[in-house]
Chain A
Amino acid sequence: MAAASSSDSDSGRAESNEASSKWLDAHYDPMANIHTFSSCLALADLHGDGEYKLVVGDLGPGGQHPRLKVLKGPTVLTESPLPALPAAAATFLMEQHEPRTPALALASGPCVYVYKNLRPYFKFSLPQLPPNPLEQDLWNQAKEDRIDPLTLKEMLEGIREKAEVPLSVQSLRFLQLELSEMEAFVSQHKSRSIKRQTVITTMTTLKKNLADEDAVSCLVLGTENKELLVLDPEAFTILAKMSLPSVPVFLEVSGQFDVEFRLAAACRNGNVYILRRDSKHPKYCIELSAQPVGLVRVHKVLVVGSTQESLHGFTHKGRKLWTVQMPASILTMNLLEQRSRGLQAVMAGLANGEVRIYHDKALLNVIRTPDAVTSLCFGRYGREDNTLIITTRGGGLIIKILKRTAVFVEAGGVVGPPPAQAMKLSVPRKTRLYVDQTLREREAGTAMHRTFQTDLHLLRLRAARAYVRALESSLNPVSVTAREPLKLHAVVQGLGPTFKLTLHLQNTSAARPILGLLVCFLYNEVLYALPRAFFKVPLLVPGLIYPLETFVESLSDKGISDIIKVLVLREGQSAPLLSAHINMPVSEGLAAA
């Protein structure tokens, strides 16, 4: 470890200020290829030689190649493939005999694999769940061919609708089948007894009857069918079974099984349930209104991290004590216990690459890591009492040792005014010109005001005049007369010398169609030629937009453009209903023409 610390500390130095840091950077390997959760990390003296090893239930990159890894110092000691993804790892003492080497338990799927001396020792499988008797009955009938597949399907669907006990996979699969496939499926599967199997979601240990450090412990399992099981450490029989309203995700236990214990289970429905020894059902319930991401007990306080980027402290009766906001979302949590100083604190690994250590509400320390932290574990490693194991999202492994002189002091974090208070306000500066203008306004304010008012009135007058003129001569493209409410919109396309002119004419009246309209183009005949300068408009149905297309040939080769006037007229009237002036573009196709 010492050698490693000298060679690897360079990379770690960037993140933590070496001199003031409470931690020694023992090891950092960004390519350690360890992908795991805090629940799959365990530290234990597996060989009884006083050298603590790190047990990692590794999910493998992308959850593809699960492996059991045992690390000694910075190197992997042994590595063996696992049959399925590990959900949790724990070390515990199975019996009183010497040598007192702890066993390793690995929960995976429906089984717990127990190792002693790193050799396979025992496999515990969860008992099968009792199948629904009605379902069982139906399949028995199918076996004897007393029921046809269609009736079977109907009956099974009926069970699914109402029954308390869910159907087995076999039945569910059957219900998905098409009519043609049913027969084959039934004949293939009818002889098999239906089964319901559940899986382990979480696991922890609970002292059996002594509170000592090295006392025999039971395994506590949380299962997918919303149950908690306590296993006997020697016989692996189920000592106790408790049911929860939801699936447990994290467990936290205190006390001894034979005396009195408290079990806190954070569940998938966002609640934390607290059970006691003699309760088959939860005694207290903490509703978080968000998903819990970690559950740690510090002395008598339950610390829950929630997806709302906050840590909450609760009493063991479920009363809320405090809340601390985090700067980023919490990814994992674990307990930090510095036995020599009697300190217990919560570590929270955050998405922004920080590990924050809290004692109740007080922030004790922040460790910055180069990547988002996926799992944390603190304890004795090798021969060093206070070691922190961190794994990061990219598969990196960081080992830090707490300096022996380090003392965590409360209020080491942010207290006092927030740093932003010391920053200057960015008040926009004003220029010399502004000041000059201000002075001028003071001197000649009245004159400025009068000039402005006069100009404003003139502007309004001109606008009004122009508007009246437009209305009088129907120069505007929208006609609002009661008889012919029309809207005209013209588009010119092309580069020239030939352009396409499209008039979009719309009858905006609610119900009345318009008949007998004419369109007339007025243009300079020297510059432009149109195939038809005058044509009739078809009947205009209200609401529809009629595109009327015509081609315009530019005759001039001097690059001049002109205005084409479009007039919409009513048959028999000389004054146009509306008109539009089209600014023709300059023909760019002269060379080609």
Chain B
Amino acid sequence: MAEERLVTRTPFPASAESQKPRLKKAQEFPILEKQNWLIHLHYIRKDYEACKAVIKEQLQETQGLCEYAIYVQALILRLEGNIQESLELFQTCAVLSPQCADNLKQVARSLFLLGKHKAAIEVYNEAAKLNQKDWEICHNVGVCYIYLKQFSKAQDQLHNALHLNRHDLTYIMLGKIHLLEGDLDKAIEIYKKAVEFSPENTELLTTLGLLYLQLGIYQKAFEHLGNALTYDPTNYKAILAAGSMMQTHGDFDVALTKYRVVACAVPESPPLWNNIGMCFFGKKKYVAAISCLKRANYLAPFDWKILYNLGLVHLTMQQYASAFHFLSAAINLQPKMGELYMLLAVALTNLEDPENAKRAYAEAARLDKCQPLVNLNYAVLLYKQGEKEGALAQYQEMERSVRLLRDSGSLEFDSEMVEMAQKLGAALQVGDALVWTKPVKDAKSKHRTTSTSKAAGVQQPLGSNQALGQAMSSAAAHRKLPSGAGGTSQLTKPPSLPLEPEPTAEAHPAEASAQIREKQE
């Protein structure tokens, strides 16, 4: 080998004289690191074929002593998914130069990828002895502890890592721990710091926005999601979340426009088609709504939220038999939700099956203790069936939960529901409208029927707040979201309308939870 190299060297005219002293004995050993730079350049350009060729040549020449060549070969093997083989090569590297923390770090990383978290931690600790101030070691040990479910240790390590050097990834992991522990406030604290540190990281911005959304702090949520969209207008998580918020405000056209971007990027996302479907529902395009929801259902057959929405749309379309099927499917997947039983009861009532409807109402009332709507609908059904005592009991139950709700917060009630309740109260001769004093004052001009009354009324859209919708849409169009408009008005919007509010209220939790899940992978 050495001779060959010398032969090629002689024709070089540049420095024939200066070459001479190098032409010593034939036994010259090649320099081990001769082509490391080339290996590295090929490696970072992801030209793995060329890289492997150089590595092979280099290893042949040095009889396997070139540490860096083995190291890069192991890295490539790991990228190709041969983790076990890469681990063995990294161990070889560690033998060739035991003082190098990098090799140990890679051994640990391979162990981590193989799921041997405890072993990985041990090797990392070994590496930490060689290199005290490496954020990467601290960070990775922290991640290992997360997988071992030792969250407090993980937190310590991640905080150490942040102390040594701040990285977005460490913040994300820390936030994740808090989310796994169910501590939203702490997670928000961490993400806030992270956003402060790198204000342009769309992933951080989106996550923070979604967390605010979960906590119901809509103004901040919209602010952060908007920021994320400013930096990356195609960030589909942010678009979905922002879109669902626009939907809540009845701003369906803008939301639909935004969803187009997502539909291009992630055409097979169930939450996307769910939200699009509910947009069409809001725009009273029921056939399109059903098409989109069915696509969502096709993509995620076990998502009860989509089934819920499908049931709702079919109820609106007076397709009670279909609605029954979707709702019962949803109940099979999510048996703990009162509202589902209530909707099922509505479907059953319309299918002239009052016996089962009553049972469904009873179940709904059992599961959902402070939803006046359930009791009201139940009372109406009982009244129509001529069971006045039962109706009265439900009516009183409703009054109780209304009081409870009123005491607990500044909740307002849908005027239509109030109207219905007052009618029923009159019919039952218990007419005192005291409970409703507050909402009646600002009763809007909406005429909506509760589910048991004439079906035609159900087809009212929810987009009640037109002015707000306008404000939101213009804000979204400019992608600079005024912090005031969106959020504050959101709080005044009554969240517990009878049938219709569900679609939008539903649309975003479905999607938000999907996001969270995705992130936690």
Given contacts A421-B260, A427-B292, contact A199 B319 (CB under 8 A): no
Q: CB of B341 within 8 A of chain A?
A: no
B63 touches A120 (CB 8 A): no
Could you mark each residue 268-293 of chain B with 1 if its beta carbon is under 8 Å from any beta carbon of chain A, else 0?
Answer: 00000000100010000001101110
Complex: chain A residue closest to B33, CB-CB: A224
Q: CB of B350 within 8 A of chain A?
A: yes
A247 touches B36 (CB 8 A): yes
Compute how far the CA of A247 lies from the CA of B149 in the bound complex, rounded to whole angstroms: 37
Q: CB of A433 within 8 A of chain B?
A: no
Given contacts A160-B98, A161-B98, A420-B265, contact A188 B29 (CB under 8 A): no
Complex: chain A residue closest to B201, CB-CB: A323
In whole Å, how far is B38's beta carbon from the nearest beta carbon of chain A? Answer: 6
Given contacts A173-B29, A173-B63, contact A199 B37 (CB under 8 A): yes
**Which of A87, A176, A200, A323 contacts B63 (CB under 8 A)?**
A176
Flag the segment in B220-228, B320-328, B503-511 that touches A.
B320-328
B38 touches A63 (CB 8 A): yes
A176 touches B167 (CB 8 A): no
Residue numbers in A under 8 Å from B16 (CB-CB): 120
Could you mark each residue 140-165 of chain A with 1 if its beta carbon is under 8 Å from any beta carbon of chain B, else 0?
Answer: 00000000000000000000111010
Complex: chain A residue closest to B256, CB-CB: A425
Could you mark each residue 76-117 of chain A with 1 if its beta carbon is under 8 Å from any beta carbon of chain B, else 0?
Answer: 000011111101000000000000000000000111010100
Residue numbers in B under 8 Å from A84 (CB-CB): 5, 9, 34
Complex: chain A residue closest to B31, CB-CB: A197
Complex: chain B residue closest to A271, CB-CB: B165
In whole Å, how far is B363's beta carbon from the nearest beta carbon of chain A? Answer: 18
Residue numbers in B under 8 Å from A448 (CB-CB): 321
Compute how far the CA of A291 lies from the CA of B43 in the bound complex, rounded to whole angstroms: 9
| B-side interface size class | 35 or more
How many A-B contacts at CB < 8 Å in the complex? 191
Compute how far the CA of A539 lies from the CA of B431 in the bound complex, rounded to whole angstroms: 82
Q: CB of A311 within 8 A of chain B?
A: no
Compute how far the CA of A247 lies from the CA of B318 in the bound complex, rounded to whole angstroms: 72
In whole Å, how far is B305's beta carbon from the nearest beta carbon of chain A? Answer: 20
B14 touches A113 (CB 8 A): yes
B13 touches A80 (CB 8 A): yes
Complex: chain A residue closest to B101, CB-CB: A269
Could you mark each residue 425-453 of chain A with 1 if its beta carbon is under 8 Å from any beta carbon of chain B, else 0?
Answer: 11111100011001001100110111010
Compute how far the CA of A249 lies from the CA of B37 in the bound complex, rounded to whole angstroms: 7
Compute how far the CA of A293 lies from the CA of B43 in the bound complex, rounded to whole angstroms: 10
Complex: chain B residue closest to A81, CB-CB: B11
| A-side interface size class | 35 or more
Q: CB of A467 within 8 A of chain B?
A: no
Given contacts A81-B11, A169-B30, A173-B29, contact A289 B169 (CB under 8 A): yes
Residue numbers in A under 8 Å from B44 (CB-CB): 249, 291-293, 307
9 A-B pairs (CB sep. < 8 Å): A84-B34, A85-B38, A120-B16, A169-B31, A170-B29, A176-B65, A201-B37, A247-B36, A425-B259
B321 touches A421 (CB 8 A): no
Top 6 nearest A-B pairs (CB, nearest first) are A120-B14, A420-B264, A123-B15, A201-B37, A83-B9, A123-B18
Residue numbers in A under 8 Å from B36 (CB-CB): 199, 201, 224, 247
Q: CB of B258 within 8 A of chain A?
A: yes
List A residues 295-338 near B (Cβ within 8 Å). Answer: 307, 320, 322-323, 325, 329, 331-332
Q: CB of A189 within 8 A of chain B?
A: yes
List B residues 286-303 near A (Cβ within 8 Å). Answer: 287-288, 290-292, 294-295
Q: CB of A133 within 8 A of chain B?
A: no
A425 touches B261 (CB 8 A): no
Given contacts A113-B15, A442-B318, contact A307 B46 (CB under 8 A): yes
Q: CB of B352 within 8 A of chain A?
A: yes
Compute how far the CA of A536 lies from the CA of B350 in the bound complex, rounded to whole angstroms: 64
Residue numbers in B under 8 Å from A418 (CB-CB): 233-234, 261
Could you mark each residue 45-81 of chain B with 1 if its beta carbon is under 8 Å from any beta carbon of chain A, else 0?
Answer: 1100010011000000011110000000000000000
In whole Å, how far is A284's beta carbon from the nearest beta carbon of chain B? Answer: 12
In whole Å, how far is A482's beta carbon from the nearest beta carbon of chain B? Answer: 33
Residue numbers in A under 8 Å from B54 (CB-CB): 63
In whole Å, how far is B334's beta carbon from the nearest beta carbon of chain A? Answer: 21
Compute how far the CA of A188 lies from the CA of B29 in the bound complex, rounded to whole angstroms: 13
Residue numbers in B under 8 Å from A247 (CB-CB): 36-37, 40
Q: CB of B351 within 8 A of chain A?
A: yes
Residue numbers in B under 8 Å from A292 (CB-CB): 44
B287 touches A351 (CB 8 A): no
Could you mark each residue 88-110 of chain B with 1 if its beta carbon is under 8 Å from any beta carbon of chain A, else 0?
Answer: 00000000111100100000000
Given contacts A169-B31, A197-B31, A289-B169, contact A427 B258 (CB under 8 A): no
Q: CB of B452 within 8 A of chain A?
A: no
In whole Å, how far is A199's beta carbon from the nearest beta carbon of chain B? Answer: 6
Given contacts A176-B63, A445-B320, contact A87 B37 (CB under 8 A): yes
Compute how far the CA of A87 lies from the CA of B45 in the bound complex, rounded to whole angstroms: 16
Compute how far the CA of A325 lies from the CA of B198 in the bound complex, rounded to whole angstroms: 15
Q: CB of B513 within 8 A of chain A?
A: no
B291 touches A428 (CB 8 A): yes
Q: CB of B35 within 8 A of chain A?
A: yes
Compute how far the CA of A405 lies from the CA of B43 in the bound complex, rounded to whole angstroms: 40
**Which of A85, A291, A351 contacts B35 (CB under 8 A)?**
A85
A428 touches B292 (CB 8 A): yes
Residue numbers in B under 8 Å from A358 (CB-CB): none
B295 touches A428 (CB 8 A): yes
Given contacts A62-B53, A428-B292, A445-B321, contact A435 B287 (CB under 8 A): yes
Q: CB of B184 within 8 A of chain A?
A: no
**Which of B65, B291, B320, B351 contacts A430 (CB under 8 A)?**
B291
Compute how far the CA of A268 lies from the CA of B97 in the bound complex, rounded to whole angstroms: 17
Compute how far the CA of A289 lies from the CA of B139 in the bound complex, rounded to whole angstroms: 12
Residue numbers in B under 8 Å from A434 (CB-CB): 287
Given A173-B63, A426-B263, 17 other A-B residues pairs in contact with their CB atoms under 8 A: A37-B41, A84-B34, A85-B38, A120-B13, A120-B15, A160-B98, A169-B30, A192-B25, A197-B31, A323-B201, A331-B45, A426-B267, A430-B291, A438-B317, A438-B319, A445-B350, A449-B320
Residue numbers in B under 8 Å from A329 (CB-CB): 45-46
Residue numbers in B under 8 Å from A287 (CB-CB): 135, 165, 167
In whole Å, how far is B354's beta carbon from the nearest beta carbon of chain A? Answer: 12
**Which of B18, B40, B65, B259 contacts A249 (CB under 8 A)?**
B40
In whole Å, how far is A348's beta carbon from the nearest beta carbon of chain B? Answer: 12
Q: CB of A166 within 8 A of chain B?
A: yes
Complex: chain B residue closest to A194, CB-CB: B29
In whole Å, how far is A439's beta carbon from the nearest beta carbon of chain B? Answer: 10
A449 touches B12 (CB 8 A): no
Residue numbers in A under 8 Å from B353 (CB-CB): 449
**Which of B38, B260, B321 contacts A425 (CB under 8 A)?**
B260
B198 touches A320 (CB 8 A): yes
Q: CB of A172 within 8 A of chain B?
A: yes
Residue numbers in B under 8 Å from A109 (CB-CB): 31, 34
Q: CB of B200 within 8 A of chain A?
A: yes
Compute how far the CA of A415 lies from the CA of B280 in the bound complex, rounded to whole angstroms: 29
Q: CB of A198 within 8 A of chain B?
A: yes
Could you mark each residue 112-136 of chain A with 1 if its beta carbon is under 8 Å from any beta carbon of chain B, else 0?
Answer: 0101000010110100000000000
Q: CB of A423 within 8 A of chain B?
A: yes
Which among B25, B53, B319, B353 has the highest number of chain A CB atoms within 10 Å? B319
Q: CB of A202 within 8 A of chain B?
A: yes
List B residues 1-24 near A (Cβ within 8 Å). Answer: 5, 8-9, 11-16, 18-19
Could you mark each residue 506-517 of chain A with 1 if its beta carbon is under 8 Å from any beta carbon of chain B, else 0?
Answer: 000000000000
Compute how far the CA of A418 lies from the CA of B239 in the bound complex, rounded to whole angstroms: 12
A421 touches B318 (CB 8 A): no
Q: CB of A342 within 8 A of chain B?
A: no
Residue numbers in A under 8 Å from B280 (CB-CB): 427
Complex: chain A residue closest to B263, CB-CB: A425
Compute how far the CA of A199 lies from the CA of B66 in the bound complex, rounded to whole angstroms: 13
Residue numbers in A under 8 Å from B261 (CB-CB): 417-418, 420-421
Q: CB of A424 within 8 A of chain B?
A: yes
Q: CB of B408 within 8 A of chain A?
A: no
